[in-house]
A and B are shown apart, each in its own frame.
Chain A
Amino acid sequence: MSTVELTAARDAAARPAPPPGSRRRGRRSPATPLEKVLRWGLRAVVTLVLGFLVTPIVIVVLESFNSVDYLSFPLEGWSLTHYRRFFADSAWVDASLLSAKIALLAALIATVIGTVAAWGLARSEARGKGLVFALLYSPLLIPIIVLAMSYYFTFADLKVIGHWQLISVAYSVMGIPYVLVAVSNALQQFDPELENAARTLGAGMTRTLLRITLPSLTSAISAGALFAFVIAFDEAVIILFVSGSGSVTLPRKLWDSVRYDLTPTLAVAGTILIAVCVGLFLLSELIKILRERRERR
């Protein structure tokens, strides 16, 4: 089929342009039996694959409500025993709090560095821009076990294994790409003339930044910060090497316990990790939707 033919036919097929969103199945042309079979086959495959994706998540959440002391499916009965046990055990609670603390500091650092970098890259004309972007973005592409080795050797050489603030710093590196991309995308839509206008009207550089530029970036910055927090909150490879005995985070504790004994209490830890990360992800989606609504008005 030649391109010309195809283009002409496409125009012909597109002519009675259906109003967007109201495209009804079967309206365009009557479906042949083969098409019907293909359509149902596709639906079956998609249902199975989506089921495959969701089942393991659902299982962890369900198991956390199991009433017996071992993992079983179907559940023996519903109870909150394991939640009580989890919150009564200071080792689990401390690990959860430590994870939150480390992730909070990591997100803070990543947000500051990532935002400054995005702003600098957007305003700079320097030739090394591409290189700087690559440096800031590359933690996303580097295998985590390689990062884990790098931090393990450095922490061991400096004798700082187990220092939670330094673990936060290492984690912030993994969060920076997310903040950088989120804020860079927002800056592309931001009109630099607004900054110039503020400057001509007599606002200083700091004031322009604080009153004009930053407010229009808040949703991008908060989305980036949420991603950075999530990355740090459930990181489970680097921590195996740098936690020592002093910084047992929730993923580290879960890892140790999985290899030792499988109980529904682990499913509670898993459910908490899922709830925090998925909850924050949904929050960032909500922020995005709200912003889109506001912009449309």
Chain B
Amino acid sequence: MALGLPVAFMAIVYAYPVGAMLLKSFTEPEPGFGNFTKAFTDDAIWDVLVITVRLSAEVALLTVLLGFPVAYFLARTSKRKARFLVLLVVIPFWTSILVRSFSWIVLLGDNGLVTTILEPLTGDSQGMLYSESAVIIAMTHILLPFPILIIKGTLDQIDTSLPPAARSLGAGPLRAFAHVYLPLALPAIVSSGMLVFVIALGFYVTPALVGGPKQSTIAVVIAQAVQVNFDWGMAATLATMLLVVATALTMIVRRLTKVKGMVAL
């Protein structure tokens, strides 16, 4: 059967490594739930979890707020114009996260473009690199294409004659938008926000490069556990926790809407 080869391949080179990693959270350094008790009673880990969740929520909110107007515009403008403007969203999307983070180091650093522009306003020639704002700006930039493309996909399918219909029945432009258009777009808005939240939870490169020690997300701490403390058990435990939360949230998103993969974008 044709499925034997792919399944065997995935079992050996994917399911096995992930399974072995999960197992390590219960067996390293000794069998039992020791790692999980340690993680849940450690104040430093709690702080990291709080920072990670807060950062991800802020980024999710920002990407949706910034993304919706763009998606709305793209869905309603002419086909030819939309095709060109979508490229401006997709090209950053296909640019390596590392390169985009590097660019924000340049932009937000001392004497960077953003710092120079803001200097007359803030009177501060120091960059905002290695701060929470820097991480939020860079992560918002990196994740913004997701809501734009997902919401646009839904808006494209909304019957364009609905808002004029509401208008002809006497609704003002704002009311027509809020009562007719927005409810139809809401599932895509919510699910794309949740998707960004899940992806942001596991972000490593950006917080590690653009953030300081106070912006250590769970992924940064996982990497440190391995590279600095050589604590495989703790790294595996935190990774297991991240995987469980991410999987649960992803399944909820998929229940809520039929957002199919990133490939169809």
Do A and B truly interact? Answer: yes
| Chain A residues near B (Cβ < 8 Å) | 1, 5-6, 9-10, 12-14, 21, 23, 28-29, 32, 34-35, 38, 42-43, 45-46, 49-50, 52-57, 59-60, 63, 71-73, 113-114, 116-117, 119-121, 123-124, 126, 132, 135-137, 139-154, 157, 169-170, 172-173, 176-178, 181-182, 185, 227, 230, 234, 236-237, 240-241, 251, 254-255, 258-259, 262, 266-267, 270, 273-274, 277-278, 281
Contact A49/B222 with A57-B91, A121-B3, A185-B264 known, Cβ cut-off 8 Å: no
Cα distance, A151 to B70, chains bound together (Å): 38
> What's the nearest-Cβ distance from chain B to residue A155, in Å?
8
Cα distance, A123 to B3, chains bound together (Å): 10
The answer to whether B6 touches A120 (Cβ under 8 A) is yes
Contacts of A21 in B (CB 8 A): 78-79
> What's the nearest-Cβ distance from chain A to residue B203, in Å?
8
> What's the nearest-Cβ distance from chain B to residue A32, in Å?
7
- Chain B interface mostly: helix
> What's the nearest-Cβ distance from chain A to residue B97, in Å?
7
Tally of contact residues, B, Cβ under 8 A: 92
B31-39, B43-51, B168-176 - the one binding chain A? B168-176
Contacts of A5 in B (CB 8 A): 169
Contact A50/B85 with A146-B18, A149-B21, A251-B98 known, Cβ cut-off 8 Å: yes
Contact A149/B236 with A270-B103, A273-B95 known, Cβ cut-off 8 Å: yes
User: How many interface contacts (CB-CB < 8 Å) are there between A and B?
Assistant: 263
> What's the nearest-Cβ distance from chain B to residue A276, in Å?
9
Q: Of B2, B20, B105, B260, which is within 8 A of A258 by CB? A: B105
Most chain A CB inside 10 Å of its own CB: which residue of B92, B112, B162: B92
Contacts of A124 in B (CB 8 A): 1-3
| Chain B residues near A (Cβ < 8 Å) | 1-3, 5-7, 9-10, 13-18, 20-21, 24, 66-67, 69-70, 72-73, 78-79, 85, 88-92, 94-100, 102-107, 109, 111-113, 116, 141, 144-145, 159, 161-162, 164-169, 171-174, 179-180, 199, 201-202, 204-205, 209, 219, 222-223, 226-227, 232, 235-236, 239, 242-243, 246-247, 250, 260-264
> What's the nearest-Cβ distance from chain A to residue B221, in Å?
10
Q: Of B6, B162, B264, which is within 8 A of A113 by CB? A: B6
The answer to whether A29 touches B103 (Cβ under 8 A) is no
The answer to whether A73 touches B112 (Cβ under 8 A) is yes
* 5 new A-B contacts at CB < 8 Å, known A13-B165, A140-B262: A6-B162, A34-B173, A123-B2, A124-B2, A274-B99
The answer to whether A57 touches B165 (Cβ under 8 A) is no
Contact A146/B242 with A50-B70, A281-B90 known, Cβ cut-off 8 Å: yes
Contacts of A38 in B (CB 8 A): 173-174
Query: B264 — nearest CB in chain A belongs to which residue?
Result: A181
Nearest 10 A-B pairs (CB), nearest first? A143-B202, A120-B2, A234-B96, A56-B103, A117-B6, A10-B165, A150-B17, A120-B3, A9-B165, A236-B98
Cα distance, A77 to B182, chains bound together (Å): 49
Contact A9/B3 with A46-B73, A251-B98 known, Cβ cut-off 8 Å: no
The answer to whether A57 touches B92 (Cβ under 8 A) is yes
The answer to whether A72 touches B173 (Cβ under 8 A) is no
Contacts of A116 in B (CB 8 A): 2, 5-6
Contacts of A141 in B (CB 8 A): 246-247, 250
Contacts of B20 in A (CB 8 A): 150, 153-154, 157
Cα distance, A59 to B66, chains bound together (Å): 21
Contacts of A172 in B (CB 8 A): 13
The answer to whether B94 touches A230 (Cβ under 8 A) is yes
Contacts of A71 in B (CB 8 A): 106, 109
Q: Of B18, B162, B199, which is within 8 A of A150 by CB? A: B18
Contacts of B79 in A (CB 8 A): 21
Cross-chain pairs A/B with CB under 8 angstroms, 21 sampled: A1-B169, A1-B180, A6-B165, A9-B165, A35-B173, A50-B89, A52-B144, A55-B107, A57-B91, A57-B92, A59-B113, A120-B3, A132-B6, A140-B261, A140-B262, A146-B18, A146-B239, A149-B222, A150-B18, A240-B223, A262-B109
The answer to whether A262 touches B97 (Cβ under 8 A) is no
The answer to whether A13 touches B161 (Cβ under 8 A) is yes
Q: Of A9, A154, A266, A270, which is within 8 A of B17 by CB? A: A154
The answer to whether B235 touches A270 (Cβ under 8 A) is no
Cα distance, A54 to B209, chains bound together (Å): 20
Cα distance, A85 to B100, chains bound together (Å): 22
The answer to whether A145 touches B222 (Cβ under 8 A) is yes
Contacts of A54 in B (CB 8 A): 88, 91-92
The answer to whether A49 touches B70 (Cβ under 8 A) is yes
> What's the nearest-Cβ distance from chain B to residue A266, in Å?
6
Most chain A CB inside 10 Å of its own CB: which residue of B14, B91, B159: B14
The answer to whether B9 touches A113 (Cβ under 8 A) is yes
Q: Of A182, A234, A262, A278, which is within 8 A of B106 by CB? A: A262
